[in-house]
């Protein structure tokens, strides 16, 4: 499932308004996990990025007290900006303007309830541009300090060390994550090296099927969920260190 309903005490989704009235202003960060609903080749479900956002943000918030940080986690936003995957069935996209506005509205809402900081934990690269613009507006218009945490960027060195530089969409890395957290959703018999159709030097591809045959990149047969478990723990610590450092510099 894309949004768990077995809420923990830090989940806004399980709070009453009286709980939220106290929890939001007291939190060091309100955390918004962001994903997408888009094709992920032949072996992974369309909710990969949303499932990653759900699980990886949970890891982050649960480890936060070890860094003396308190966090309130918003429900995971399942839809993102995925227009470049629309040639594959199952993809559901918001327009970039709509997506930016949704994020801004969420920021405005939590500002009304006394939030001081927002950490957006993003697990879909297509969201980055509208999220950056939305973060600017949330900070400037509503006074909520906003951190944009694209999870993969904080793990990039370790991922490249193990998988090289072709571990992207639906490849070695993402397959490993889903095998770690949701193994029943992986169609193991459909895992195969992804065929790259083009490598543009300057041009931006129009749709993702310009550059890939099955819908992914890399080689999902090289997935390694045990290695990813280590990376998740390390990356969680790196992200929390960065957030803590930012607070100390305010």
Q: What is the pLDDT of residue 82?
A: 98
| Dihedrals phi, psi of 104, to nearest 5 degrees | -60, -40
Q: Give per-residue pLDDT as tens, 198-226.
A: 999 999 999 999 999 999 999 999 999 99
Dihedral sign, CA of 44, 48, 51, 52?
positive
- The residue that leads in pLDDT, 5 or 44, is 44
Q: Mean pLDDT across the chain, nearest whole number? A: 96
Across the range 93-107, mean pLDDT stands at: 98
Enter the tokens of residue 19. 């709980």
Enter the tokens of residue 63. 């480890």
Dihedral sign, CA of 56, 61, 62, 68?
positive
Across the range 104-117, mean pLDDT stands at: 98
- The residue that leads in pLDDT, 30 or 166, is 30
**212 sits in which H/E element:** none
pLDDT band at 3 (very low <50, low <70, confident <90, very high): low
Specify the CATH number for 12-238; select among 3.50.30.30, 3.40.50.150, 3.40.50.10310, 3.40.50.970. 3.40.50.10310
pLDDT band at 1 (very low <50, low <70, confident <90, very high): very low
Structural contact between residues 121 and 56, judged by C-beta atoms closer than 8 angstroms: yes
Domain positions in the chain are: 12-238
User: What burial class does residue 235 get, using C-beta atoms within 10 Å of its C-beta: 0-12 exposed, 13-18 middle, 19+ buried?
Assistant: buried
pLDDT above 80 (res 2): no
């Amino acid at each position: 499932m894309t949004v768990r309903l077995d809420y923990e005490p830090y989940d806004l989704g399980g709070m009453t308004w009286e709980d939220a009235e106290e929890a939001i202003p007291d939190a060091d960060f309100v955390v918004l996990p962001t994903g997408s609903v888009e094709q992920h080749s032949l072996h992974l479900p369309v909710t990969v990025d949303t499932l990653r956002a759900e699980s990886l943000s949970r890891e982050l918030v649960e480890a936060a007290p070890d860094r003396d940080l308190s966090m309130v986690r918003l429900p995971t936003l399942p839809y993102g900006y995925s227009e470049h995957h629309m040639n594959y069935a199952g993809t559901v996209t918001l327009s970039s303007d709509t997506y930016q506005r949704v994020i801004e509205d969420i920021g405005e809402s939590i500002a009304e309830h006394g939030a001081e900081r927002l950490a957006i934990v993003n697990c879909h690269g297509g969201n980055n541009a509208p999220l950056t613009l939305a973060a600017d507006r949330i900070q400037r218009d509503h006074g909520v300090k906003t951190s944009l945490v694209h999870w993969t960027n904080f793990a990039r060195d370790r991922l490249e060390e193990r998988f090289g530089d072709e571990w992207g969409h639906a490849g070695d890395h993402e397959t490993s994550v889903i095998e770690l957290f949701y193994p029943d959703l992986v169609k193991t018999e459909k895992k195969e090296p992804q065929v790259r159709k083009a490598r543009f030097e300057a041009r931006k591809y129009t749709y993702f099927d310009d550059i890939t045959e099955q819908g992914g990149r890399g080689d999902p047969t090289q997935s390694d969920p045990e290695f990813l478990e280590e990376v998740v723990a390390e990356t969680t610590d790196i992200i929390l260190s960065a957030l803590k450092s930012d607070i100390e510099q305010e």
